[in-house]
Structures are given as structure tokens and as C-alpha cells.
Amino acid sequence: MSNDPIHQFQISKLIPLDFNGLDLSFTNSSLFMVATVTAASGFLVWATSGRGLVPGRMQSIAEMSYEFVASTLRDAAGTQGMKFFPLVFSLFMFVLVANLFGMFPYFFTVTSHIIVTFALAMLVILTVIIYGFWKHGLHFLGLFVPSGVPGALLPLVVLIEVISFLSRPISLSVRLFANMLAGHITLKVFAGFVTSLSALGAVGIGGAILPLAMAVALTGLEFLVAFLQAYVFAVLTCMYLNDALHPGH
């Protein structure tokens, strides 16, 4: 069981809750969601509590994350996009901290479950759709009709645009989920090689050096992926929100 690379994604109920056959138990996943939110908001609130004119280290980190997300959003969606800043910042911080928590041994990775990433992606897409229709009415559908396309090609282009729009929540959620899942499985597999090879005696211990080096390298890579995927999620969110703000291509 300890070498089963899938075991780390197991959901286990900590406080079983059942509503008319609907299982709403507080699980290890829920625990790590709470931990993620507590750590992220606790850090941001605590680090900025000094309100220093000259920031300390912790306040610098909080300000840097703020400025980082703000500049990403401003670049992608303009100044108008700043009304979505709390959403984008929350998504970025939540995904980032959840991913980084997943790097601790024996910790559960919240973002390694497709339902979580899909729910976050749907939150983004529904925000885009609802805001788009609320702000632009039916003009929002102009998103699917790029200007300057010859009439004969237009139906095909519109079809492609619609398909690409519908695939957004799927690509957005699967990208994050698959990255976290694959990374953790790979890490686990290589770490498993180390233990199973070293059980074979002196030759095995010598042979275990290679997968151990791989596991170390992969750990570094996974930290990069944890950050990068949170960033990619935030950037794509900004780009999709830009469509809601400016539907005309």
C-alpha cells in the first residue's frame, strides 16, 4: 500500500456527514482546503498588519503577490478588468497555496482532484458568461463572430469559436488537475523505486541512487510546476475575463 502511487489521492472521511444519502463528509480534502485558506489568508492578513511604509520581508511577499496578479490582470484585461481583481487574486492564491501544500510529504493535494479544478474553472467561465451578458446583452455573442471573416467561412469560424469557448473550462481544469496528478504520481513512483531497490541489498542501494536523484530533481520541478500552474490558471482567467469585458475581437 505504501508504494501505491494512487493512494495519495485517496479521499478519507474525517467527520462523516450524510444528508438524505448525499455524502457531504468533512474529508482530508476538506481539511486541506481549510488549511489552504487559513494559511493563505492568515499569511496575507498577518504580513500586512504592520502597514509599514517600508515593507518588511513578509509584507514584501504579500505586496509582490498583489502586484504580480494586478499587473497580470491589467496587462490582459486592461484597467476595467481590475473589478475582477479579488476573484483572480483569490483563485491565484488558493491554487498556489493548495499546490504548494501538496508538496509536503503526506499532505493531500486539493488541486489533484478534477472536481475541484473543474469547479474553479466553471466559476471563471460562469463569471465570464454572466458578466458578459449582463454588461453587453446579446452583443456578447459577438465574441463568436470575429470581424473581417469572409461570409462563406463565417459559419465554420463561428462553430470553431463556439467549440473553443466550450472547451475552455475543460482545458482550464484538466491542465491544472493533470499537472498536479501526474507530477505527484511520478514523484511517488520514483520514490517507490528507491525503497524497493534498496531492499535488494548492496547492489540495489547502488542502483537506487539514480531514482533518488530523479526524485530530488522532480521535487524541484514540482515546485516550479506548482507555481507555474497557479500562474497559468490566473493568466487564462484574466484572458477569459477580457472577453467578457471586450467581446468584440
Partner 1 sequence: MFISNAWAEEQSGAHSSTDGATHTETGAVHDAGHGGVFPPFDPASFASQLLWLAITFGVFYLLMARIAIPRISSILEVRRDRISQDLDEANRMREEADAAHAAYEHELAEARKNATAIAQKANDEAKAAAEAERQKTEAGLAEKLAEAEARIAGIRAKALGDVDEIAAGTAETIVKELLGGTVTKADLAKAVSEAAKQGA
| x-or-dash string of contact with partner 1, 39-68, rule CB under 8 A | -xx--xx--x--xxx-x---x--xx--xx-
Determine the Cα–Cα distance for residues 89 and 44; give it in Å rounded to an integer. 12
Alpha helices in the chain (DSSP H): 28-47, 57-77, 85-101, 114-136, 154-198, 202-207, 209-245
Does 25 sit near partner 1 (CB under 8 A)? yes
Assess contact for 106 and 171: CB atoms under 8 A: no
Question: Binder to partner 1 among 5, 58, 74, 90 (CB under 8 A)?
Answer: 90
Options 5-13, 163-171, 207-215, 224-232: segment touching partner 1 (CB under 8 A):
5-13
Options 88-96, 135-143, 223-231, 232-240: segment touching partner 1 (CB under 8 A):
88-96
Question: Binder to partner 1 among 9, 131, 227, 231 (CB under 8 A)?
Answer: 9
Options 85-93, 144-152, 164-172, 200-208: segment touching partner 1 (CB under 8 A):
85-93
CA gyration radius, the chain: 22
Shortest distance, position 79 Cβ to partner 1, whole Å: 14
Determine the Cα–Cα distance for residues 19 and 194; give it in Å rounded to an integer. 44
CB nearer partner 1, residue 179 or residue 212: 179
CB nearer partner 1, residue 64 or residue 209: 64
- Look at residues 153, 176, 190, 188 and name the one whose alpha carbon lies nearest to residue 231: 176
Assess contact for 243 and 132: CB atoms under 8 A: yes
Options 117-125, 134-142, 230-238, 239-247: segment touching partner 1 (CB under 8 A):
117-125
Assess contact for 128 and 243: CB atoms under 8 A: yes
Question: Binder to partner 1 among 73, 76, 77, 116 (CB under 8 A)?
Answer: 116
Determine the Cα–Cα distance for residues 3 and 176; give it in Å rounded to an integer. 24
139's grid cell: 452583443
Question: Binder to partner 1 among 73, 76, 120, 194 (CB under 8 A)?
Answer: 120
Determine the Cα–Cα distance for residues 246 and 43; give it in Å rounded to an integer. 35
For the chain, the maximum distance between any two Cα atoms, rounded to a whole number of angstroms, is 73
Question: Binder to partner 1 among 101, 140, 177, 190 (CB under 8 A)?
Answer: 177
Determine the Cα–Cα distance for residues 238 and 82; give it in Å rounded to an integer. 10
Q: Name the residues that contact partner 1, by CB under 8 A.
A: 6, 9-14, 16-18, 21-27, 29-30, 33-34, 36-37, 40-41, 44-45, 48, 51-53, 55, 59, 62-63, 66-67, 85-87, 89-90, 93-94, 110, 112-116, 119-120, 123, 177, 181
